[in-house]
């Protein structure tokens, strides 16, 4: 079924294809019978894949990364596709159109995508309205937050704090996005001193909201793959020292080494998909060796198959996320990966997925 749908979608402009997909999912999102049909087609429940992190149960370790459901409009439909969790956003305080179009490019020969979307979203207030029933999604919902393009880095903390004000009551965990390459100078916030100040402001706001009676939520940091080893160690250690709950490795890359010669290789933006798989896995292993005993890691980058996901888990990831893989493999990707993970666990003699975490990094 998906090969035909893929041909239709790939005949469209990539961003138009994404918009059409969201429209279709909205129809399912408001249709209980449609959700039940998708659940019957795509969901796998197996206790060997269930993970409990931060007091929350993830029915399986395969999630959908931020960037797909930018405005938290279709997470119920996405939950029905068999994902163990869904991350919505990136959400900024004010709505913004993002960068000029075209800003999304497929590289099918490399199973890759380049995007320079620029945090296009409807803003934190609208997202908060869409997230009010997040508890009925049956899976954990993560909320990815960022700063508006017009906000200077010196005032970035105020944007993240505003997002917390609007959104902290909704979602099972929060992700601080300072690693997208598509908002000018955003990655500068990964510098140790800037990062510490930002995290202190965010944690302070979280504490204030909790004192008002809101439930405490885990706060994760998403890191870029383009740092040096020394920068990575400094960033990760600073984040852990400031009380971060987890790390997501990694965001998209500015490197074009793996796609040289492709007509889109010179397009500005972050590269995702198959070319990122090896680097992201290596990054997970290094982070796990650095702080794996202190905070869980969510692995993302180039995951298309169960083998790809399993490599990241063995490198140190407790959970994994897909995005570009879904574009190329279709809505059955979570089911396919989970079925393969069960086979790989049995093959290696593991009784539960948690036994495989970090075995290649120890």
Which of 225, 208, 153, 162 is closest to 183 using CA atoms? 153
Q: Annotated catalytic, 180?
A: yes
Burial tier of 203 (Cβ tally within 10 Å: 0-12, 13-18, 19+): middle
Q: Which two tokens stand for residue 5?
A: 């749908």
Alpha carbons 316 and 283: distance in angstroms, whole number: 10
Residues with Cβ within 8 Å of 146's Cβ and at least 6 positions away in sequence, in order, are 89, 90, 91, 92, 119, 159, 160, 163, 177, 178, 180, 183, 186
* 3-state SS, residue 243: coil
Catalytic choice (128, 179, 180, 336): 180
Alpha carbons 316 and 188: distance in angstroms, whole number: 26
Residues with Cβ within 8 Å of 172's Cβ and at least 6 positions away in sequence, in order, are 54, 56, 85, 134, 140, 141, 142, 217, 218
Please name the residue that has the structure tokens 């903390």.
157
The answer to whether the CB of 292 falls within 8 A of the CB of 36 is no
Alpha carbons 65 and 17: distance in angstroms, whole number: 18
Alpha carbons 92 and 149: distance in angstroms, whole number: 9
Alpha carbons 296 and 357: distance in angstroms, whole number: 10
The answer to whether the CB of 325 falls within 8 A of the CB of 348 is no
Please list the active-site residues: 180
């Amino acid at each position: 079924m998906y090969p035909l749908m893929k041909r239709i979608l790939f005949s469209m402009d990539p961003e138009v294809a994404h918009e059409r997909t969201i429209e279709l999912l909205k129809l399912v999102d408001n249709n209980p019978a449609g959700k039940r049909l998708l659940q019957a087609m795509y969901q796998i429940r197996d206790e060997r894949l269930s993970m409990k992190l931060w007091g929350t149960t993830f029915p399986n370790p395969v999630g959908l990364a931020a960037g797909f459901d930018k405005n938290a409009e279709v997470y119920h439909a996405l939950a029905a596709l068999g994902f163990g969790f869904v991350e919505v956003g990136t959400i900024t305080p004010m709505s913004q159109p993002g960068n000029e179009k075209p800003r999304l490019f497929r590289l099918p020969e490399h199973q890759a995508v380049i995007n320079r979307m620029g945090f296009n979203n409807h803003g934190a207030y609208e997202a908060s309205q869409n997230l009010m029933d997040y508890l009925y999604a049956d899976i954990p919902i993560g909320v990815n937050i960022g700063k508006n393009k017009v906000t200077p880095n010196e005032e970035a903390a105020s944007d993240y704090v505003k997002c917390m004000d609007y959104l902290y009551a909704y979602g099972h965990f929060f992700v601080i996005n300072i690693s997208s390459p598509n908002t000018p100078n955003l990655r500068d916030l990964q510098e140790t001193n800037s990062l510490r100040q930002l995290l202190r402001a965010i944690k302070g706001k979280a504490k204030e909201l909790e004192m008002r009676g809101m439930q405490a939520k885990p706060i994760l940091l998403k890191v870029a793959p383009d740092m040096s080893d020394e920068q990575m160690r400094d960033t990760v250690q600073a984040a852990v020292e400031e009380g971060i709950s987890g790390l997501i490795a990694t965001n998209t890359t500015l490197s074009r080494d793996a796609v040289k010669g492709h007509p889109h290789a010179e397009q500005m933006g972050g590269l995702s998909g198959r070319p990122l798989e090896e680097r992201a896995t290596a990054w997970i292993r290094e982070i796990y060796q650095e702080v794996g005993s202190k905070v869980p890691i969510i692995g993302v980058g180039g995951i298309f198959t169960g083998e790809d996901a399993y490599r990241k888990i063995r490198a140190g990831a407790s959970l994994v996320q897909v995005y570009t893989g879904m574009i190329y493999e279709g809505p059955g990707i979570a089911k396919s990966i989970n079925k393969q993970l069960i086979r790989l666990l049995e093959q290696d003699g593991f009784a539960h997925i948690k036994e495989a975490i970090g075995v290649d990094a120890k």
